[in-house]
Amino acid sequence: MGAPDTVDGVTDVGDASDEGHHPALNTTGRGLLYDLVSIPSPSGEERAAAERLAAFFEANGREVWLDDVGNVRAPGDDAVLLTSHVDTVPGEVPVEIREAETDADGDHGDEADSEDDYQLWGRGSVDATGPLTAMAVTAVRTGASFVGVVREETDSRGARHLVEDRSPPEAVINGEPSGWDGVTLGYRGFLAGTYVSTSESGHTSRPEPNAIQDAIAWWNRVEEAFEPDEWTPVFEQVTTKPVGFDGGLSADGLSVEATVDVQLRVPPSTTVEAVRERAEAELEGGTVTWKEPIPPVMGDPRGELARAFRVAIRGEGGDPRLLRKTGTSDVNLYAAAWDRPMVTYGPGDSALDHAPDEHLSLSEFDRSVRVLTAVCERFVSNDD
């Protein structure tokens, strides 16, 4: 490990640029990003990445610790809480730095802003290690509070612990890919459940439906109940998806059993409770057990936080985009627990989430840090 580097007032130790791996890793933020992407951190296995992140804060004189569930906590000025998730989905994407590809006109495309732009390839570069690192660098520059949470990709254990363990900040900026010039205001909610049905075994020539048929019939009715018209945007729909099925004769051969794991996405125009009741109304046999739901969220596009992002993005030469996402994130849980202004922001193309070609433009990463810094400086006190 080399001596600590200080770049734009941000210090780091042992980052990739310090070791001279690649000329593109010429800032502390880029080096930290490379390190974190290089450390496998699927949900439940975030410890090594969390410790690397904590070392970054320690090198910059910030109080930091790993809490009871493994979240990285670096308290600061609670005018803004910067938070993103440390974990990634499974899957190996070889970590490498590539020059950005040019289009027919010789340009690097929308995600790059310079002729010598580079891309960092690797699992998590977009979802959400890029946003996580941008927030860590911004927290050190501005003094804002920071938390890197665990297990967002599975059960959101880190976020659930956080809202129970601390008081609300004044505002929350959640880290997920929106593109450096985009700000996400809305997410649909999430409802997951398991349907179970059992019937007596019998000859397959009998006309009575068995448990497998009951399960299929129930799910068909649920899909029909939430079938949208062709003019309804996806964000405003309840979408239904079976994600697992198991069925057949029981071990003793005396019954037929069927289990279906299902997921429903819930728009802000309705509630998780209403969707659950509608799905249960279609039961004619069997039972369904629901997991803890995540409610939908829709932020205020005219609020002070959203306005600050529009100003900062324009200051970097961008045309701000206000987004609504059809998925779900930890900000849904924060919004349900804390009545505070919230947006979601981060570098990266969300179309590359969980993809085999996941990669992030390093110049876009730099721009996102400048945008986040400008936003936080509007809220965080500079008093000594």
Residues 114-130, mean pLDDT to the nearest whole number: 89
The residues facing 343 across adjacent strands are: 173
Binding-site positions: 85, 127, 153, 176, 354
The residues facing 344 across adjacent strands are: 174, 184
Binding-site positions for Zn(2+): 85, 127, 153, 176, 354
Read off the pLDDT of residues 330-365 as tens digits, 9 standing for 90 and up: 999 999 999 999 999 999 999 999 999 999 999 999
The pLDDT score that the predictor gives to residue 2 is 36
Given pLDDT bands bounded at 50, 70 and 90, which one contains residue 51?
very high
Out of 4-13, 215-224, 368-377, which region has the weakest mean confidence (pLDDT)?
4-13
What is the residue type of 21? H
Place of tokens 């996806």: 234
pLDDT score of 384 more than 50: no
Indicate the average pLDDT of the chain: 91
Q: Is the preceding peptide bond at 128 cis, omega within 30 degrees of 0? A: yes
Give CA–CA dist 161/204, Å, rounded.
50
The pLDDT score that the predictor gives to residue 58 is 98
Do 122 and 362 meet the contact criterion of CB atoms below 8 Å apart?
no
* Torsion of the alpha carbons at 35, 36, 41 and 43, rounded to the nearest 10: 180
Do 330 and 175 meet the contact criterion of CB atoms below 8 Å apart?
no
Within 10 A of 167 (CB to CB), how many other CB atoms are there? Answer: 7
The pLDDT score that the predictor gives to residue 178 is 97
Residues 168-192, mean pLDDT to the nearest whole number: 97
* Sequential DSSP letters for 132-171: HHHHHHHHHHH-EEEEEES-TTTT-HHHHHHHHHS---S-
pLDDT score of 314 more than 80: yes
- How far does Cα 141 stand from its chain's mean position? 23
Q: Looking at the annotation, which residues are catalytic?
A: 87, 152
Domains parsed from the chain with CATH numbers: 5-187+297-379 (3.40.630.10), 189-290 (3.30.70.360)
Do 248 and 187 meet the contact criterion of CB atoms below 8 Å apart?
no
Residue partners of 253: CB distance under 8 A and separation at least 6 = 201
Residue 129: closest CA among 19, 14, 50? 50
The pLDDT score that the predictor gives to residue 1 is 34
The pLDDT score that the predictor gives to residue 16 is 46
The residues facing 5 across adjacent strands are: 12
